[in-house]
Homo-oligomer: A and B are copies of this chain.
């Protein structure tokens, strides 16, 4: 049993006005990951299922727990693949258990029917108010770089996306320092997952301190700013557009937010 990789070979037909040809193509791997949570006196129980690109699974799990405000970075005690005997080896790589050093307080318990499903990041919350609630950790404090530095960051991110080079279709996120240097970059088919992996990488490396900047290959929606606020980033730099709610949350939380960022132009929303 080999662990699944970030890309998968598929047969495809390329059609142009000149005709068709069959090729072997590479696409980004997408597989479900089930996250289980355990804490002192509490056995592991299913907390979340996501579709993610395999690789850096422990970071994804740790980052998700921190971004959800379930535990602080230094309270993530252990992350492991599931060892249940009733799981096939393939399934075992798709089930990760995060053990927290503190009792995990569920932020949104559901009793009623079908309370969680298909949206990104706010589904499963108990009410509209709860969806807007953002747990806040310590924030990075310091001077953010000038716009001239900010405008270059997506290019730096782009230069560190090997799975994108192969597939042309996978998101990336990166934590950057105040000089505009990449601290960690991660790729995932889900842009939310990529952000979880970035924060999780720092958490598992024992660096619980917040980083200055979060750089995103795509758009800045509410939930990505939400993760940035919880993890303590001081600014969010996105290649694409920002949403109204992302702008509102960034303003409320005092997080700097840039959109449409490229070498010759960027837009700062707050």
Contacts and interface: CB of A to CB of B under 8 A. Distances in A.
Interface of A: 7-8, 10, 12-17, 20, 25, 27-32, 34, 37, 45-52, 64, 68, 91, 94-95, 104, 106-128, 131-132, 147-148, 150-151, 167-170, 189-190, 192-193, 219, 221-223, 240-247, 259-260, 264-269
A120 B192 CA distance: 9
Contacts of A64: 118
B16 A265 contact: yes
B110 A116 contact: yes
A30 B124 contact: no
| Interface SS of A by simple majority | mixed
Nearest to A116: B116
Given A68-B117, A114-B106, A147-B20, A31 B245 contact: yes
Given A114-B107, A117-B108, A241-B167, A267 B25 contact: yes
Nearest to A241: B169
**Most chain B CB inside 10 Å of its own CB: which residue of A16, A25, A121, A123:** A123
A116 B117 contact: yes
A221 B15 CA distance: 21
A123 B50 contact: yes
B48 A118 contact: yes
Contacts of A265: 14-16
A68 B47 CA distance: 21
Contact of A51 (B94, B109, B122): B122
Contact of A268 (B15, B32, B34, B110): B15
A124 B132 contact: no
Contacts of A169: 219, 240-243, 259-260
A121 to B, nearest CB: 4
Nearest to A121: B118
Closest 3 CB pairs of A and B: A116-B116, A169-B241, A116-B124
A49 B129 CA distance: 11
B109 A116 contact: no
A146 B111 CA distance: 49
A250 to B, nearest CB: 11
